[in-house]
């Protein structure tokens, strides 16, 4: 049943021929105000709600980047997986774009749908832990925080979390899902054993490595191109009780990466990242962040953990419960929410760099970056991931046995001297081009303007032909997730 606006107002809202309203730089296509008359009388009754009032669209025409804004024609709050399927079956033949949205934490309009329908997945958020098989099945709209809470109640945990756990299961599985435990367990997509997907043809399909494997592989890190992930099943591990985190300072970037290579190889840390901070307008500080899980009363021996590492000064240690460790960003986020900086524009750049090039690229890049470029609350991450742990074909990383995630998490606060958004975007584009020229790929969660077909062809390499074929097969009307801007035209 459609609740809220009447079917008549819904018809009025969506009826009418397509009218060009402007050029959309992110999708590189002409934006239109509406598509052909959808004759909504044919949309089956819904278990959830369809929002049609523009006053309700605010969050759906925006995201964490606050850079791209596109107005949908409607927003679906699904009450069931069937609602998702019915909406897509309705939209496909009419060519109405459809974008699933988790928490809208991408930064460049990737979960938006101009004149289309945004599906707010947050209403599908059930979680079922199967203790006997050490697995959890979570609906795509569930937050990682909720998954953590449900699993640790049974002393279990997913092996990998992103640094920020208020992201949705479907959102991070659509991009990959990287965190400090990726150095040991791969990305979140590598821990998934089964999915339920509503394809772009509106079919509800179960898939795994042995059942409908091509859909499984196209949905994981598939940027929402073949359909909507509606639920995922993950392998769990026993939840650690306590965590000791070590922060080690390094004088230079090569000194940091040298020790990161050492520790990722010998596996002394259960969790490994690295952070760079602009200490002065021209200088940087470099920190290795490693963590060891332990049981209460039996902490790791620091001298053993730190043996052979070439850091400067004294190691800083901090002990957390496992839950507090996984959620340690919460305090910083609460602070940024209180100052308002959390709501400033975020023109982020996220790249995977090949090991052989990381030091040269970073030294050139850091020489051109200052505190102003990052913004007062911005962060720069640099940490290694062994490629052998990254098994999903669409999570594209450089051809190198070790790759480094470089995350330039800028905040462009309009009321400070931070780099304004247009300049930050232009810098992102230049840094992306320079990185690609040395074999990098992008981790596609950020804000890189003017991506062309050649850029995507470079990103996907030999996988592009298969990805395109699967797109045609599972999204025959090319309606799914246009904000990613990968498949510009139908049949491309």
Ligand X SMILES: Cc1cc2nc3c(=O)[nH]c(=O)nc-3n(C[C@H](O)[C@H](O)[C@H](O)COP(=O)(O)OP(=O)(O)OC[C@H]3O[C@@H](n4cnc5c(N)ncnc54)[C@H](O)[C@@H]3O)c2cc1C
Residues that bind ligand X (CB under 6 A): 64, 99-106, 110-111, 121, 140, 162-164, 167-168, 170-172, 174-179, 223-224, 228-229, 445, 481, 483-484
Measure the CA–CA gap between 257 and 252, rounded to whole angstroms: 9
User: In terms of CB distance, is 135 or 195 closer to ligand X?
Assistant: 195
E-assigned strand segments in 367-480 = 379-386, 402-409, 441-442
Q: How far is the CB of 297 from ligand X (least distance, A)?
A: 30
Tokens of 21: 């309203």
In the complex with ligand X, which residue's Cβ is closer, 278 or 485?
A: 485
Dihedral angle sign, alpha carbons of residues 243, 249, 253, 259? negative
What is the smallest separation between the CB atom of 343 and ligand X, expressed in angstroms? 12
Largest Cα separation within the chain, whole Å, is 72
The sign of the CA dihedral 208, 210, 215, 220 is positive
Q: Which is nearer to ligand X, 362 or 395 (CB)?
A: 395
Distance, CA of 449 to CA of 422 (rounded, Å): 10
Tell me whether residue 182 or residue 365 sits nearer to ligand X (CB atom). 182
The owner of tokens 């909507």 is: 228
Q: How far is the CB of 171 from ligand X (least distance, A)?
A: 2
Cβ closest to ligand X, residue 106 vs residue 400: 106
* Minimum CB–partner distance for residue 103 and ligand X (Å): 3
Of 198, 209, 21, nearest in space to 115 by CA: 21
In the complex, the smallest distance separating the C-beta of residue 154 from ligand X, rounded to whole angstroms, is: 24
Looking at the Cβ atoms of 122 and 309, the one nearer to ligand X is: 122
We find the least distance from the C-beta atom of residue 235 to ligand X, in angstroms, to be: 18
Burial status of residue 92 (CB atoms within 10 A of its CB: 0-12, 13-18, 19 or more): buried
- Beta carbon of residue 444, minimum distance to ligand X (angstroms, whole number): 9
Beta carbons of 51 and 75 less than 8 angstroms apart? yes
Measure the CA–CA gap between 94 and 435, rounded to whole angstroms: 40
Closer CB to ligand X, 162 or 278, in the complex: 162
Nearer to ligand X, 170 or 186 (CB): 170
Q: Least distance (Å) from ligand X to the CB of residue 314?
A: 27
Q: How far is the CB of 85 from ligand X (least distance, A)?
A: 13
What does the buried/exposed string (b/e) look like for 415-435 if buried means 16 or more CB atoms within 10 Å of the residue's CB?
eeebbebeebbebbbebbeeb
Q: Kindly state the smallest distance separating residue 3's Cβ from ligand X, in Å.
A: 23
| Least distance in angstroms from the C-beta of 50 to ligand X | 18
Complex with ligand X: residue 140 or 349, whichever CB lies closer: 140
Q: Which is nearer to ligand X, 177 or 202 (CB)?
A: 177
Task: Provide the residue count of the chain.
Answer: 492
Q: Which is nearer to ligand X, 135 or 226 (CB)?
A: 226
Smallest separation, CB 309 to ligand X (Å) = 24
């Amino acid at each position: 049943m459609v609740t809220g606006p009447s079917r008549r107002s819904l018809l009025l809202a969506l009826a009418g021929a397509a009218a060009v309203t402007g050029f959309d730089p992110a999708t590189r296509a002409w934006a239109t105000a509406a598509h052909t008359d959808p004759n909504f009388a044919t949309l089956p009754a819904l278990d959830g709600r369809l929002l049609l009032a523009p006053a309700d669209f605010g969050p759906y025409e925006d995201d964490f980047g606050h850079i791209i804004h596109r107005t949908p024609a409607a927003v679906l709050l699904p009450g069931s997986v069937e609602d998702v399927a019915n909406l897509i079956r309705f939209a496909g033949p009419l060519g109405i774009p459809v974008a699933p949205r988790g928490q809208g934490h991408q930064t460049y309009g990737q979960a938006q749908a101009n004149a289309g329908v945004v599906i707010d997945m947050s209403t599908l958020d059930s979680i079922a832990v199967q203790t006997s098989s050490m697995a959890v099945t979570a609906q795509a709209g569930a937050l990682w925080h909720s998954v953590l809470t449900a699993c640790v109640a049974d002393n279990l945990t997913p092996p990998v979390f992103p640094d920020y756990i208020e992201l949705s299961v479907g959102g991070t599985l659509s991009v990959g899902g990287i965190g400090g435990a990726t150095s040991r367990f791969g990305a979140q997509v590598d821990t998934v054993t089964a999915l339920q997907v509503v394809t772009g043809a509106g079919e509800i399909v179960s898939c795994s490595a042995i059942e409908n494997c091509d859909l499984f592989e196209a949905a994981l890190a598939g940027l929402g191109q073949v359909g909507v992930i509606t639920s995922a099943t993950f392998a769990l591990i026993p939840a650690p009780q306590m965590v000791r985190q070590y922060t080690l300072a390094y004088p230079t970037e090569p000194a940091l990466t040298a020790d990161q290579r050492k520790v990722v190889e010998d596996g002394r840390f259960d969790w490994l990242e690295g952070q760079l901070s602009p200490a002065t307008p021209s200088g940087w500080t470099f920190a290795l962040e490693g963590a060891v899980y332990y049981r209460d009363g039996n902490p790791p021996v620091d001298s053993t953990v730190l043996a052979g590492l070439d850091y400067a000064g004294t190691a800083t240690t901090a002990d957390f419960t496992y839950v507090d460790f996984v959620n340690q960003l919460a305090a910083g986020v609460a602070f940024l929410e209180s100052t308002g900086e959390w709501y400033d524009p975020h023109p982020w750049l996220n790249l995977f760099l090949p090991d052989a090039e990381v030091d040269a690229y970073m030294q050139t890049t850091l020489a051109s970056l200052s505190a102003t470029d990052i913004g007062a609350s911005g962060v720069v991450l640099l940490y290694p991931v062994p490629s052998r742990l990254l098994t999903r074909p669409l999570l594209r990383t450089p051809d190198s046995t070790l790759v480094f995630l470089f995350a330039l998490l800028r905040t462009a606060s309009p009321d400070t001297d931070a780099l304004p958004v247009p300049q930050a975007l232009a810098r992102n584009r230049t840094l992306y081009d320079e990185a690609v020229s040395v074999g990098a790929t992008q981790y596609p969660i950020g804000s890189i303007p003017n991506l062309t077909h050649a850029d995507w062809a470079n990103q996907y390499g030999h996988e592009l032909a298969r990805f395109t074929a699967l797109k045609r097969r599972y999204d025959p009307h090319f309606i799914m997730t246009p904000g990613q801007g990968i498949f510009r035209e139908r049949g491309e």
